[in-house]
Amino acid sequence: MILKDKRVLVTGASRGLGAAMARVFTSEGARVAFTYTRDEEGARETEKTGARAFMCSVLDVPATDAMVRELESSWGAIDILVNNAGLSQNLPVALMEEEDWDRVMDVNVKGTFLTTRAVLPGMVRRKAGTILNIGSLAGVRMLEAPVHYCASKAAIKGLTEALAKEVARHGIRVVCLAPGLLEDGVGRNLPEHRLKDYLKHCALGRVGTLEEVAAFAAFLVSDANSYMTGETVVMDGGV
Amino acid sequence: MKRCLVFGGSGALGRVVCRALADEGSRVAFTYHTGEAGARELAPHLKDGLALPLDVSSVRDIERTVDEVACAFGAIDAFVQCAGVAVTMECGGTKSHHRIPEVDEGGWDRIMDVNAKSTFFAVRRVLEPMKRAGGGNIVFIGSVDGVKPAPSPVHYAASKGALAGMTQAMAKELGEDRIRVNMVAPGLMDGGLSRALPDNLRAEYLKHCGLKRVARVPEIAAVVAWLALHNTYVTGRTLLVDGAL
C-alpha cells in the first residue's frame, strides 16, 4: 500500500491510462477523485473503484476551482495531482487547422497549467505535495507523430522542469511520466504502419499495458520516491 | 520470490538497496571488497542471503562470483551494480578532485575498470542465469556527473557516461530476452562516494539543487529497488534522481 491515505486528483480518468491510475492508486490505499468531460459510461465504471467523479473540463477555471475547494474541504487537502487529461488527433500539417492546433495545445498544455494553478496554493500552504504530469515519448524523441501532439508533450516536459525548480522550496515535487505506445489511449487509432514501425524499434517488442504504466505512476508519486523532481521518465520498452 | 545479485553491497547505497530488496521478500546475494565489517553487519538481515568477497577489477573473479550465485540460486532475476569508485585528493587539509593534468594512465584505468569494464563483464556473465529466470532487470548506478555538465573528475564522469551508453545498447540487445536495463543517476547523497566531494562543490550543489538538500540514501535505494523488482516496461533509460539540480 504505497499510497496509503493519500488524497489524489487525476484529470481525465473516464478511460485509458487515467482510469487505470484511479484503479491502481485506489488499490494502493489512496482516496481518488477524477475529472471527465463526456464519457458518462466510462466515468461510472471508474467510480466503481470508489473514486469520486467530477464532470469538469480542465479548461473550465471556475469549475476546476470549485472542485478543488470541494475536495480540500471534504478531504482536508489534495496530496497528489496527476495531470493526465489529454488528446490527440492523427493529422498531417497540411490538414491541421488552427482550431485543431488550439484544441490539442489547450487541453494538453493549458489544462495542465490551469489545474496545477488551482491545486498549488493548498500544497504550498502545507509545504508538501506531488504533481505528476503525463507526457509522451513523442515529446522527447523524434517520431512520426502529429506535430501539435508532439509540441504539446514537449511543452509538458518544459513545464515540469520549470515548475519543479519553482516549487521545490515549498517541498513540492513535480515529475513527468512519458509513456511510449500503450494498448489503449491516444495511440488507439494509430495507422497500421506506425504501429508496426514502433514494434520493430521497441526492444521489448510490444506496446505497454495501462496497468504497468499506472503501477509505475503509483511509485513515482509515492513518498518512497521523495528525491526525484524535475525529471521526465520515459517508459517505452526501449524504442 | 525474486533472486537478486548486488555488486558493492557493503557500500552506503548498496547496503540499503540490499535491505530494500530483502524487505520485499527477495533472496539477495551481495559482493563486498574493502567493506568486510559492513558486510558482516548486513548479512544477518538478508534471509537465505549470500555475502561474497569480490574485487571487481578481476574479470575472472567476477565470472566466478556470478557463477557461484547462479548455482546457489538456480537463476538470477535482478542484477544491481553498486560497486564503484571516485577519487578525491587531500591537499593541505582540504579536499579537491583530480583535474585533467593530475589524472595519469593508472588512475584513468582504475576508474574505468571498476566503474565501467566490471559492469560489462558482470552483465555478460549474468545473462544466462537471467535468461533461465525468463528475463529480469539490470540496474546500474550512474551519477549526475555522467549526465549533466557538473564539475567532476573527467575519468569519473567518463566512466558513468560509459554506463549510460551501455544501458542503451544493452537494452536494445537484450529486449528480446525480456531483460530490461536501466540506470539510476543520483545527485549528491548523505553517504557513500558523495562524502568525498570537496566542500566548495558541495556548496555549489546545494545552491543549484531545487530541494536545497542532498539525497538521503534510502530515497535513491527506493528507485533502484523498484526498477529491480517491479519494472516491466522501462528499459534503456537513465533516471535522474537529483532533487531538481
In DSSP notation, chain B reads --EEEEETTTSHHHHHHHHHHHHTT-EEEEEESS-HHHHHHHGGGSTT-EEEE--TT-HHHHHHHHHHHHHHHSS-SEEEE------EEEETTEEEEPPGGG--HHHHHHHHIIIIIHHHHHHHHHHHHHHHTT-EEEEEE--GGGTS-----HHHHHHHHHHHHHHHHHHHHHGGGTEEEEEEEE--BSSGGGGGS-HHHHHHHHHH-TTSSPBPHHHHHHHHHHHHHT-SS--SEEEEESS--
- Please tell me whether residue A125 adopts helix, strand or coil conformation: helix
Please give the radius of gyration of chain A, using alpha carbons only, rounded to the nearest integer: 17
Q: Is A1 on the interface with B (CB under 8 A)?
A: no
Q: What percent of chain B has pLDDT over 90?
A: 84
Burial A88-117 (b: 16+ CB within 10 A, else e): beebeeeeeeeeebeebbbbbbebbebbbe
- What was the pLDDT predicted at A73? 98
Give the residue from chain A lying closest to B173, CA to CA. A203
Band of residue B96 on the pLDDT scale cut at 50, 70, 90: confident
Provide the pLDDT confidence category of residue B137 given band limits of 50, 70 and 90: very high
Count Cβ atoms below 10 Å from residue B204 Cβ, excluding itself.
Answer: 14
- What residues pair up with A179 in beta bridges, in sequence order? A235
Structural domain that includes position B29: 3-241
When pLDDT is cut at 50, 70 and 90, the band that residue B242 belongs to is: very high
Radius of gyration for chain B, computed over Cα atoms and rounded to the nearest angstrom: 17
Mean pLDDT of B178-191: 95
* Ranges of each domain in chain A: 7-234
Question: Is A7-234 CATH 3.40.50.880?
Answer: no
Residues B159-180 have a mean pLDDT of 97
Is A199 at the interface with chain B, CB within 8 A? no
Residue recorded with cell 510490444? A206
- What is the distance between the alpha carbons of residues A198 and A144, in angstroms, rounded to a whole number? 10
User: Can you tell me the distance from the alpha carbon of B54 to that of B121, in angstroms, rounded to the nearest whole number?
Assistant: 14
ipTM of the complex: 0.95
Using CA atoms, how far apart are residues A116 and A131, in angstroms rounded to an integer?
Answer: 8
Element (H, E) at A235: strand A232-235
Contact B235 A204 (CB under 8 A): yes
Instruction: Look up residue A144 and give its DSSP letter.
Output: S
3-state secondary structure of A29: coil
A229 close contact with B: CB closer than 8 A: yes
- Among B208, B233, B235, the strongest candidate for a mutation testing the A interface, having the largest count of A CBs within 10 A, is B233
Q: Write the CATH number for B63.
A: 3.40.50.720
Residue-wise pLDDT tens for chain A (239 aa)? Answer: 999 999 999 999 999 999 999 999 999 999 999 999 999 999 999 999 999 999 999 999 999 999 999 999 999 999 999 999 999 999 999 999 999 999 999 999 999 999 999 999 999 999 999 999 999 999 999 988 999 999 999 999 999 999 999 999 999 999 999 999 999 877 777 888 889 999 999 999 999 999 999 999 999 999 999 999 999 999 999 99
CA B77 to centroid of chain Cα atoms: 17
Summarised one tens digit per residue, pLDDT across range A118-143 is: 999 999 999 999 999 999 999 999 98
Q: What pLDDT band is residue B89 in, cutting at 50, 70 and 90?
A: low
- Measure CB to CB from residue A168 to each of B210, B231, B232 and give the nearest one: B210
A130 within 8 A of A219, measured Cβ to Cβ: no
Q: How far is B224 from chain A (nearest CA, A)?
A: 10
CB-based contact, A26 to chain B, within 8 Å: no
Which three three-digit cell numbers place residue B119? 559492469
Query: How many structural domains compose chain B?
Result: 1
Nearest chain B alpha carbon to A128: B211
pLDDT at B90: 61
The single residue listed with the C-alpha cell 565489517 is B37
Active site residue A149: yes
Mean pLDDT, residues B176-202: 90
How far is Cα A99 from Cα A87, in angstroms, rounded to an integer?
14
Query: From its phi and psi, is residue A205 left (phi > 0), alpha (psi between -120 and 50) or beta?
Result: left
Q: In this structure, what are the phi and psi dihedrals at residue B235, rounded to the nearest 5 degrees? A: -155, 150
The pLDDT of residue B173 = 98
Grid coordinates representing B237 are 533509460
**Neighboring chain A residues of B206 at a CB cutoff of 8 Å:** none
How many C-alpha atoms does B94 have within 13 Å on its Cβ side? Answer: 8
CA–CA distance, A159 with A154 (Å, rounded to integer) = 9
B216 contacts chain A (CB < 8 A): yes
Residues on chain A touching B212 (C-beta within 8 angstroms): 168-169
* pLDDT (tens digit per residue) in A91-121: 999 999 999 999 999 999 999 999 999 999 9
B235 contact residues in A (CB cutoff 8 A): 203-204, 237-238
Q: Is the pLDDT of residue B63 over 80?
A: yes
Chain A residues within an 8 Å CB radius of B232: 212
- Whether the pLDDT of residue B97 is over 90: the answer is no
**Locus of grid cell 537478486:** B4
Task: Note whether A227 contacts B: Cβ–Cβ < 8 A.
Answer: yes
Q: Determine the Cα–Cα distance for residues B240 and B188; give it in Å rounded to an integer.
A: 11
Cα separation, B14 vs B35, whole angstroms: 11
